[in-house]
């Protein structure tokens, strides 16, 4: 099930992300990139969509079963004197779901307030006895990232690539940097991601257009995206996941739905606090 990832990446899953295609991608690169794709200058960090103190809560459903709750909390901190956001994500199964499959996951990310670059990523998971305890430290001057697998007492070094993000920082980077005016139906956003010892992944997010969702808060106008995931063991096919993000200035996930190899799972925004902008609800 690996529940927490249904909201943590805007996107998803503890499985490999699909490879990007050159013909329909909007790439998020550094200003020095020579790519012919559309780019965003990471130094021109846009007006922030969030602030310290933001707290989001999601309720997960597996079929008719209320499977779990997950939260994301934004704090302020410093790493080596650099002002950073410190985001803590937690996810746990509840009720009957915890009897069949117990999940207790914690994710932490420290990323620059000015440019969104990741500095540290922590992943501590316990999913039905499957455990990981990882910490990644990103050294942007040396252009290297060191992954410390504490459980297996092993360290691995990776070369940093343009605009690389960890699992959580990617979510906040995209909230601040995608340009609504540049979104085109059928086009995709791509970026590099490092969050495990499997190495760097190409993350791809296709834009499907606008849609109005009925929520516990009322009707919300959303941008709909399709993260590409690896089909097979968990998901039915590569395009089994859908993501709805509020079309207001907060750009928060409203709903995530996935067709799994067995059944389907849905995550809905269930609570929020400390939003930087007004949460827009459509009044009938």
Residue 282 lies in a domain: no
DSSP codes of every residue in 244-265: EEESSSS--EEEEEEEBSSSEE
Q: What count of other Cβ atoms lies within 10 Å of the Cβ of residue 273?
A: 10
Residue 155 lies in a domain: yes
For residue 102, which of 114, 94, 112 has the smallest C-alpha distance? Answer: 94
205 within 8 A of 13, measured Cβ to Cβ: no
Residue 211 lies in a domain: yes
**In the predicted model, is pLDDT for residue 89 greater than 90?**
yes
Residue 27 lies in a domain: yes
Q: Is the pTM of this model over 0.75?
A: yes
How far is the CA of 255 from the CAs of 15, 92, 93, 193, in angstroms?
20, 18, 18, 22
Residue 278 lies in a domain: no
Residue 169 lies in a domain: yes
Quote the domain boundaries for residue 128. 5-273
Question: How does pLDDT run across 214-272, given as a tens digit for each residue?
Answer: 999 999 999 999 887 544 444 444 446 899 999 999 999 999 988 766 667 889 999 99
Residue 94 lies in a domain: yes
146 three-class SS? strand
Stretch 26-50: mean pLDDT: 48
Question: How does pLDDT run across 11-35, given as a tens digit for each residue?
Answer: 333 222 333 333 344 444 433 333 3
How far is the CA of 70 from the CAs of 67, 84, 206, in angstroms?
10, 23, 25
Residue 283 lies in a domain: no
259 within 8 A of 245, measured Cβ to Cβ: no
81 three-class SS? coil
- The count of domains in the chain is 1
**In the predicted model, is pLDDT for residue 10 greater than 80?**
no
């Amino acid at each position: 099930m690996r529940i927490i990832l249904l909201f943590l990446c805007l996107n998803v899953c503890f499985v490999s992300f699909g490879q990007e295609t050159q013909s329909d991608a909007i790439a998020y690169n550094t200003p020095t990139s020579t790519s012919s794709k559309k780019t965003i200058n990471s130094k021109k960090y846009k007006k922030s969509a969030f602030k310290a103190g933001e707290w989001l809560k999601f309720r997960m459903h597996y079929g008719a079963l209320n499977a779990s709750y997950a939260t994301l909390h934004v704090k302020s901190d410093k790493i080596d004197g650099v002002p950073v956001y410190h985001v803590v994500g937690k996810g746990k199964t509840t009720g009957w779901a915890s009897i069949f499959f117990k999940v207790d996951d914690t994710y932490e990310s420290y990323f620059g307030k000015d440019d969104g670059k990741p500095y540290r990523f922590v992943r501590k998971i316990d999913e039905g006895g499957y455990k990981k305890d990882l910490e990644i430290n990103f050294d942007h001057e040396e252009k290297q990232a060191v992954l410390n697998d504490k459980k297996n007492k092993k360290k691995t070094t990776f070369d940093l690539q343009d605009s690389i993000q960890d699992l959580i920082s990617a979510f906040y980077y995209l909230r601040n940097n995608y340009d609504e005016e540049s979104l085109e139906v059928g086009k995709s956003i791509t970026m590099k991601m490092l969050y495990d010892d499997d190495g760097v992944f190409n993350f791809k997010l296709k834009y499907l257009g606008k849609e109005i969702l009925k929520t516990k808060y009322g009707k919300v106008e959303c941008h709909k995206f399709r993260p590409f995931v690896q089909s097979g063991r968990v998901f039915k096919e590569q395009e089994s996941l859908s993501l709805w993000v509020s079309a207001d200035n907060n750009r928060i996930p409203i709903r995530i739905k996935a067709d799994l190899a067995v059944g389907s799972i849905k995550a809905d925004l269930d609570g929020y606090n400390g939003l930087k902008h007004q949460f827009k609800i459509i009044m009938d």
